[in-house]
Amino acid sequence: MIKKLIRRILGVGSDASTTTQAKRFGPEAHGINPDDVSPNAVRVTQALQKAGYKAFIVGGAVRDLVLGLKPKDFDVATDATPEEVKRLFRRAFIIGRRFQIVHVMFGQELIEVTTFRGSSTDDAPKDAHGRVLRDNTFGEQHEDAARRDFTINAMYYDPSQQVVLDYHGGMKDIRARMLRIIGTPEARYREDPVRLLRVVRFAAKLEFKIAPATRAPMAVMAPLINNVPAARVFDEMLKLLMSGHAMACLQRLRKEGLHHGLLPLLDVVLEQPLGEKFVTLALANTDERVRQGKPVSPGFLFAALLWHQVLERWEAYRAAGEFPIPSLHLAADDVLDGQTEKLALQRRIATDMRDIWAMQPRFERRIGKSPYKLLEHPRMRAGYDFLLLRCASGEIESEIGQWWTDFIDADGQEREALLQRKPAQETAAAPKKRRRRGGRGRNQTRSESAD
């Protein structure tokens, strides 16, 4: 408390800038279109202001509105405590341990409301590396601005007055297309190493340059990510991969030296022609779906990213004499076990990945009742889309994908005709050939499916 009082009196903070006065930008200066603002976010700010509290739309929503982009979600910052916020709204829930926030629900839309955070990080529990473990200290608006990560995310928009408050030159950096961390970069990265990944995501997504001082310590401090709980790393990686600029983000991760330990062996995959083409196609497909507002399956995305690691181990097990299907399951176990520790893949996502991988050899069995049974699989569409990626990358013959496209679209008689087109000995002989021939490499599946 004494340290907090001294900082309040002297107007100083530990590692972040201590600007107490904000620049005000009116509608002509910030250019925000009020029609682009969520009516529910406006409703939350108005309810808080009517109750006598300060309330602003804050963070990424303000940044995107200024850039003329459509915000994915809206956050509100206020001087009301979580309990005071909760009392104002019928469907409001306090969550969080590291820092309490309130989720206010309006149908399917969630408005996240945070109380202005104070600057007393010295008193907050930290780990041996300086990462803040828990900090529920509330404070003034200028302290809250200093606690935010980047200047472009530290602007506050009051929809009732259509005014933007800017404490750290965020508007200037937006115009210069510059990403700059608030305060001392080394200290801010130690507080929360996930900021290292956020730098990459925002720089790639917004096509911003990274300020030299912000970028300088990144490679040296990259190992700090290993101290972050795996679940938080997974959440940030998912945001990165589903940002609509996934390939650009991964390339930037490699450029900044941040990829080690996040997706092990990704470099090896991207250095192989088939692997690079497959991953590029998968991420381009994901980016396009995000831009079109279509849903994206995390299971499909991670199944694609890790497929060539599975494929490599699958071939190794077959070369050692394992049967094809059991060897595929062993390969999947190896890859998932290696990733779970780092990325905390949720069980549901891991199950989806296994299903997609396990279906791939079944697509080669185009005889009898096997294709009909595969059509009934709950993950059939994802497995089929995955098959088409393999065909497009050149991993297997495109004829297999075309056959399944025709089979899915055909009626009963047409399907029987398609089944008659394929020789029955193809799938019966393939497993024996694979076991006898051993490790012939990645083209094994393609050549045998054409026999």
Residue 125: its pLDDT value, please? 53
Reference 364, options 404, 417, 332, 329; nearest CA is 404
Write out the H or E segment, with its range, that includes residue 77.
strand 75-78
Own/partner pairs, 439-446, CB within 8 angstroms, 24+ separation: 439/315, 439/316, 439/318, 439/319, 441/315, 442/274, 442/311, 442/315, 442/395, 444/315, 445/361, 445/364, 445/395, 445/396, 446/395, 446/396, 446/397
Of the residues 64, 149, 173, 287, which is catalytic?
149
Residue 135: what pLDDT? 59
73 labelled catalytic: yes
Residue 52: pLDDT band (50, 70, 90) is very high
Does this model's pTM top 0.85? no
Average pLDDT of the segment spanning 218-225: 90
- Among 74-83, 201-210, 349-358, 438-447, which is the least confidently predicted range? 438-447
Is 192 tagged catalytic? Answer: no
Mean pLDDT: which of 122-126, 256-260, 402-406 is highest? 402-406
What contacts 242, CB < 8 A, 6 or more positions away?
Answer: 286, 290, 296, 298, 301
Confidence tier at 9 by pLDDT (50, 70, 90)? very low
pLDDT at 296 over 80: yes
At 274 the pLDDT is: 75
What pLDDT, in 10s, does the model give residues 152-166?
Answer: 999 999 999 999 999
Which of 109-113, 119-123, 329-333, 368-372 bottoms out in mean pLDDT, i.e. has the lowest?
119-123
Per residue in 223-279, pLDDT (tens digit) is 898 888 888 888 888 888 898 998 888 888 888 888 766 665 566 666 667 788 898
Residue 93 pLDDT > 60: yes
Q: Single out the catalytic residue among 15, 64, 75, 287.
A: 75
To the query of whether residue 149 is one of the catalytic residues in this protein, the response is yes
